[in-house]
Amino acid sequence: MTESTTKTCWLIDLGLVAYAQALEWQDRVVAGRKAGAIPDVVLVCEHPHVITLGRNGRREHLLGSKRLLEQRGVEFFETRRGGDVTYHGPGQLVAYPIFDLSGLRRDLVWFVRRLEDAMIAASVGMGIPAERLLANWEGKTGVWVRAPGGPAVVPPTKLGAIGVHVSRWVTSHGLAWNVSTDLRYFDLIVPCGIAGCRAASVEQVLGHAADFSAAAQCLAGGLGRVFGLALERVPVDRLAAHLEAWEREQEAAALPMGA
């Protein structure tokens, strides 16, 4: 259900950014959001090849050796997000919603379901009938597609993954939607720790090249609708200026009197 109250949310495009740098951005934005120094924010980006392991993930779901990852130019990070192991890379649209759920709804399951709704809406906007898992595959977070007319016992393929973290009701991490991703890199992992799971991409399902900017617009629209937010596109340097000003204020307040 879409919330009735419309709030402003900043949409920040980080472009192609290293995973470590995106983590730094998230930490700074989360701190600013907790303090009320900035509104809700969605960071969108692509990452160079990287595999991440969630806090409840299992290392054995990483199938590639350290040497193989180095040969393929793939970094590896253990993270605070939920979920198991996943891959990020060029052609994959990543969104990190940094929301204060106190102003939306203090319900993490509700938040995850809305992220699924946003990816489903974006997929439909690109011409793909994506869905949550039903029947034999019920309970697996994310967005999936089935072969047309395929039997329910055949595992669907995963189009988008979700892994989130929440602290004092402020969210971080988020979703990864495969638009034109090189799916061969998923062979290095057991995707999301689900045996037999295969990844799909918008491009693969459509059978032709996918417009990445159109996909980004579809996802932004989906996020705005399901959370009842008015997304305002804000340059990254404006976000940086707000954070730097607030951080300077915090540093000055922490100085002893007369320093």
Contacts of 46 (CB under 8 A, 6+ apart): 15, 16, 17, 88, 89, 90, 91, 92, 93, 94
What class is the 7-253 domain? alpha beta
Pick the catalytic residue: 45, 192, 197, 218?
A: 192
Identify the band that residue 148 occupies on the pLDDT scale cut at 50, 70 and 90. low
pLDDT digits (tens, 9 = 90+) for 151-188: 444 567 899 999 999 999 999 999 999 999 999 999 99
192 catalytic? Reply is: yes
Q: What are phi and psi of 128, to 5 degrees?
A: -120, 125
How is the chain split into domains, by residue range?
7-253
pLDDT digits (tens, 9 = 90+) for 118-144: 999 999 999 999 988 754 444 578 899
SS (H, E, C) 106-157: CCHHHHHHHHHHHHHHHHHHCCCCCECCCHHHCCCCCEEECCCCCCCCCCCE
- Residue 211: per-residue pLDDT: 96
Identify the band that residue 98 occupies on the pLDDT scale cut at 50, 70 and 90. very high
